[in-house]
Structures are given as C-alpha cells and as structure tokens.
C-alpha cells in the first residue's frame, strides 16, 4: 500500500495457475464487504488489522465518499454484507468507536468490536495492512508487483481481477497544494493559540504582582 501515490495497473500474464489464483481470490473475498446506507447499495469496505498503540485494531476501511464523518455522526447504523449478501451485519454507530475520516485522501476507518463479527467470524478474514516484518518494503509498492482487485462494483455482486503495477506517480500538484494549505492553516492556528496563552499568562502574572503590593 503506497501513501499519497497514484498506482497505475496494467494487464499482465497470470502470475499463478488458474487454480491458485482462484484460491487466492476466494480467500480474499472474506476480507471484502458491500456497504449499504439506509437500504441503498453504496460501496465497498475492507476488514483490516491496523497497528494502534502497540496493538492490532480491527477496523472497517472504505472511502470517505462512501461513508463520511457527517453520516457517521448523524446516523445510528451501517449495514454491510459478505459473500454476495450471504452474511449480513449491522454496525451500531451509537457505540463509541475509534474512527478516522479524510476527504483529502478519500479514506474512512471505523473500529469494529468483537461482538460486531463474533457470531460470523468464520466468514471474515482481517487483512494485514503491510508486511511489518520487512522494514525495507514496509508501506511501499514497487513496479512489477502483482495487485489483486476485489470490490462490489456499484454495490452489486463482488468482482475480482488482477494486474501488475506499471507506473508509480508522485503526489499530484493538487494534492501537494491542499497539503501545503492545510499545514499553513495549522501553523496560523498554533500561533494564535500561543498568542492567546501568552495574553492569559501575562494577565495572571500582573494579577500576582498586584496581590504582592
């Protein structure tokens, strides 16, 4: 998985036999789900383990355009299903969960509790985000890597395909500009907070001086 990069995938000769490829894709289907919001088919989600404070946090990862922060805060549940609707889950949003939403990176991450999947744990496989044992390759994608794609196209049946990474493109100019603007806003906020704290501290110092007199 590459951060802030665009990955271009080209068709390629099958890296494994048809039997081996089918086995890999069938295994990966257990890590992919269809997300429905208010009864409408919305998009694709992925069950993943992510490192968090020295532990593995089980999460549902999708796109911000599928579930955004406004929807998360103003609704009570999300429905997701696996293996072409064979297994259906209801995610209770009234429970306090760790979450992350980014419009810039089109990412949404929502914590899953054991009770969310315990009864159907045999049909779910949690993906590992990266090969954490290989420090040199951690969080990287290389030209020539095999990529498997599994998703619910338009919220319909699960589809699978594969390809080879053809090209890796650095951050777009638009993305760089957005990041720069975000940093500038954060710096302004930080300076404002420092100035406000300094005014408060100055008032406290003057108050203490007044008491001594």
Report, at the CATH architecture level, how domain 6-169 is classified.
Answer: Beta Barrel (2.40)
Residue 9 has a pLDDT of 41
Name the residue among 132, 35, 114 with its Cα closest to residue 75.
Answer: 35
Name the residue among 4, 3, 2 with its Cα closest to residue 174.
Answer: 4
Strand locations in 53-200 (E):
55-62, 77-82, 87-92, 99-102, 107-111, 127-128, 146-152, 158-169
Name the residue among 25, 35, 30, 82 with its Cα closest to residue 62.
Answer: 35
Residue 72 has a pLDDT of 94
Name the residue among 125, 116, 127, 103 with its Cα closest to residue 178.
Answer: 103
Contact 1, 129 (CB under 8 A): yes
Q: Which residues pair with 60 in a beta bridge?
A: 47, 110
pLDDT in tens, the chain (213 residues): 333 334 344 444 444 555 666 776 777 778 888 898 888 878 899 999 988 877 888 999 999 999 999 999 999 999 888 877 778 888 999 999 999 998 888 899 999 998 888 766 677 888 887 655 554 554 566 777 777 777 777 667 777 777 777 766 555 566 566 667 776 777 777 777 788 878 888 887 787 777 666
Residue 76 has a pLDDT of 92
Residue 77 CB coordination number (10 Å): 11
Residue 8 has a pLDDT of 43
Q: Which residues pair with 61 in a beta bridge?
A: 46, 109
Angle at 64 between CA 7 and CA 141, to 5 degrees: 20
- Report, in this order, helix, strand and coil percent for the chain, each rounded to 5: 35, 35, 30
Residue 115 has a pLDDT of 86
Q: Which two tokens stand for residue 61?
A: 């990862």
- DSSP state, 71? H
SS3 15: coil
């Amino acid at each position: 998985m590459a951060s802030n990069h665009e990955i271009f995938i080209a068709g390629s000769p099958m890296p494994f036999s048809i039997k081996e490829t089918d086995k890999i894709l069938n295994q990966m289907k257990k890590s992919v789900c269809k997300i429905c919001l208010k009864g409408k088919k919305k998009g694709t989600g992925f069950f993943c383990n992510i490192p968090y404070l020295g532990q593995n946090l089980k999460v549902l990862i999708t796109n911000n355009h599928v579930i955004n922060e406004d929807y998360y805060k103003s609704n009570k549940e999300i429905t997701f299903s696996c293996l072409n609707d064979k297994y259906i889950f209801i995610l209770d949003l009234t429970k306090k969960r760790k979450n992350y939403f980014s419009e810039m990176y089109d990412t949404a991450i929502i914590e899953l509790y054991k009770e969310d999947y315990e009864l159907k744990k045999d049909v779910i496989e949690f993906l590992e985000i990266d090969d954490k044992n290989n420090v040199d390759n951690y969080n990287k994608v290389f030209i020539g890597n095999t990529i498997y794609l599994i998703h619910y196209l338009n919220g319909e049946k699960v589809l699978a395909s594969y390809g080879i990474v053809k090209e890796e493109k650095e951050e777009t100019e638009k993305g760089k500009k957005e990041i720069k603007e975000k940093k500038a806003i954060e710096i302004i906020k930080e300076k404002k907070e420092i100035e406000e704290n300094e005014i408060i501290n100055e008032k406290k110092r003057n108050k203490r001086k007044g008491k001594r007199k």
